[in-house]
Amino acid sequence: MKLIVGLGNPGTKYAGTRHNVGFSVIVGLADKYNIELSEKKHKAIYGRGMIEGEKVILAMPQTFMNLSGESVRELVDYYKCDPSDVIVAYDDIDLAVGKLRIREKGSAGGHNGMKNIISHLGTQEFVRVRVGIGKKPDRMDLADYVLSRFGKDELPEIKAGCDNACDAIALILKDSAAAAMNKYN
């Protein structure tokens, strides 16, 4: 079983913000593969289903971004997943809006949600799908930027990026992270 986690902040106040693109990826996968996101346990909203012949759990931690690892740890323990069976989708300010970067492992790269997941799992050995949200303007506070919404001119790029992230995750499940990296990085 694979655990696919999208990072974001809970509540309507944060819906559609740059920091919530991980949630957008999970909703996109749920829609595409008819997986109902109706279970509320393990500090997450999640659903179970099949993608490319693999049993999956699609999860959106409800702990707020910086404590995402609490939910991921509970899900990994409850469903007896190995950390190597975890795929995390999240935002990246170092990538242009909608661009993807897939990695099989690595550091948190300054992302507090990822720092918390790495801390709770005790490893960096899990796949991550980063979706670009664009560089923050020089005079803007980082927190204000990641909690801002996309401009109208950015909406086509971020939609395409989230769609590509869904396709990349399906390719990871069907083939490998390396195949997804070759196609989308």
Question: pLDDT tens digit string along 22-63?
Answer: 999 999 999 999 999 999 999 999 999 999 999 999 999 999
CATH code of 37's domain: 3.40.50.1470
The H or E element containing residue 125 is none
User: 159-175, pLDDT tens digit by residue?
Assistant: 999 999 999 999 999 99
C-alpha triplet 98, 99, 104: angle, nearest 5°: 125
Query: In which band, very low, low, confident or very high, does the pLDDT at 144 lie, cut at 50, 70 and 90?
Result: very high
Q: What is the pLDDT of residue 61?
A: 98
Residues 45, 62 contacting (CB under 8 angstroms): yes
Rounded to the nearest integer, the mean pLDDT of the chain is 97
Q: Are strands 54-61 and 44-51 parallel, antiparallel or unpaired?
A: antiparallel
Q: What is the pLDDT of residue 183?
A: 97
- Interval 68-87 mean pLDDT: 97
Q: What is the pLDDT of residue 9?
A: 97
> Is position 19 annotated as part of the catalytic site?
yes
Total domains, the chain: 1
Residues 14 and 170: their CA atoms lie apart, in Å, by 26
Token pair 């997804």 is found at 180
- Interval 137-141 mean pLDDT: 93
Query: In which band, very low, low, confident or very high, does the pLDDT at 95 lie, cut at 50, 70 and 90?
Result: very high
Query: In which band, very low, low, confident or very high, does the pLDDT at 68 lie, cut at 50, 70 and 90?
Result: very high
Q: What is the pLDDT of residue 23?
A: 98
Q: Name the active-site residue from 19, 42, 111, 120.
A: 19
Overall size of the chain counted in residues: 185
User: 115-137, pLDDT tens digit by residue?
Assistant: 999 999 999 999 999 999 999 99
Which residue range is the domain that position 173 belongs to? Answer: 2-184
